[in-house]
Each structure stands twice: as C-alpha cells, then as structure tokens.
Amino acid sequence: MGKSIALFGTSADPPTIGHEKILEELSKIYACTVSYVSNNPNKNHKVDISIRSNLLKTLIEDLDNTKILFNQSVSSQWAVESIKKCKRIYEFNNIDFVIGSDLIKDIFQWKKFDKIIKEVSFFIIMREGYPVESNTLKMLETYKVKFKISTIKIPNISSSKFKSNFNYSNLPTSLIDIVKKNNLYESTKLVE
C-alpha cells in the first residue's frame, strides 16, 4: 500500500476559492483527498462548525470529483485525533497532512506532536506572505519531521480577508447564494 492519501482539515470560515483550488490540485496528486471542517483551538470562528461543514460539503459536491471526499466524521480540533480516525476508516498508512505555510510553525505546540510526526508527512502549501522561515526548517529537521513543500499556486485569499472585505468573487460560485441568503457573515462587519 504505497499510495498516500491527503488529509485536508480546515476551519473554512468560510470556504474560499483558495480552498477550492487546493482541493482541485490535491486531486491531481493523490489517489484520494479527504477533507473536513474542524474548530481550530487557536482561532475564533464566526460561524458554527455545522454550517461551515455544510458549506465545505457543498463545495466538494459541486467539484464532482470522485478523488475528493468530504468526511466530517474524521473532524477533531486535535490533528492527532483526525489522523487516527482517518487511518481507521480508510486503512491507509501513508497520510500526507495538508497544512498552510502560515500554520507550519505552530505544529511544534500541537497536542501529541511527537506522535503526529510518526504518523504522517506534512504537505505544506505556500501562502503568499508566509514563507517557511529558515528557523522553522531547522526545527522540522531537528525533530525529523517528514514534509514536502508544495508547488501548488493558490489565490491570495483567505477566509479572514473575505470577512474583512466581503468580496463575494472570492467564494466558490456554489456558495455565494448560500452565504448571502443566510447572511452568514454580515453580522461580522464592524462599524467604525
């Protein structure tokens, strides 16, 4: 069983065209990409996880790609738990845990980091403005973290940027009406 599976957990608050591009590109590399929404303990989420997971599920269904699976049952706020669930369900031993370059420096503080690095390789997606710094690379090497730096090019958009500018063109087409009709992020606008 030499093939790897990509495990792509995201807070997706909301899913953007960046998430869409990542999923499309992962499907070109991996036989299977499993994606889910989680609550990041280091983030303040604007919309409940059930709504965010429904948005990601809608996006994935709209992509209509048999190599991209939505499976909310692997979700946990702790990566180690999501990895364990994924291994149990899919019976893949080779898992590449997909992570943005903006978050890679945080993995050293993750719950059961020592166990995670024995279970997965990290597939780092570069985000504009977030280079993987030399001290982070040294720490990855020191801890013998298996990782690959992706060449995938993604749009310079994030959920945070969407919430600050409400540029609906930064959302996947399948989600625009859902977000607008339900006023999902309107309440986050700040009056200055």
Q: State which residues form the domain around 71.
A: 5-188
**DSSP-assigned beta bridge partners for residue 69:** 34
Q: What is the CA radius of gyration of the chain?
A: 16
Average pLDDT over residues 13-18: 96
- Write down the residue that tokens 């985000």 correspond to: 127
Q: Which residues of 5-18 are buried (b: 16+ CB within 10 A; e: fewer)?
A: bbbbbbbbbbbbbb
pLDDT, one tens digit per residue, over 85-138 is 999 999 888 999 999 999 999 999 999 999 999 999 999 999 999 999 999 999
Read off the pLDDT band of 69 (50, 70, 90). Answer: very high
Q: Is the pLDDT of residue 1 over 80?
A: no
**DSSP-assigned beta bridge partners for residue 8:** 35
Helix (H) / strand (E) containing 176: helix 173-181
- pLDDT of 121 reads 97
- pLDDT of 4 reads 85
**For the chain, how many structural domains are there in total?**
1
The mean pLDDT value of the chain amounts to: 93
Q: Is the pTM of this model over 0.85?
A: yes
- pLDDT of 15 reads 97
Average pLDDT over residues 65-78: 97
pLDDT, one tens digit per residue, over 150-191 is 999 999 999 989 988 889 999 999 999 999 999 998 754 444
- pLDDT of 190 reads 45
| Sequence-ordered list of residues with C-beta below 8 angstroms from that of 8, at least 6 positions apart, any chain | 22, 23, 26, 33, 34, 35, 36, 98
- pLDDT of 126 reads 97
CATH code, domain carrying 43: 3.40.50.620
The percentage of the chain sitting over the pLDDT mark of 90, rounded to a whole number, equals 84
**DSSP-assigned beta bridge partners for residue 19:** none
Query: 124: which 2 tokens?
Result: 């780092």
95 neighbors 1 (Cβ within 8 angstroms): no
- pLDDT of 6 reads 98
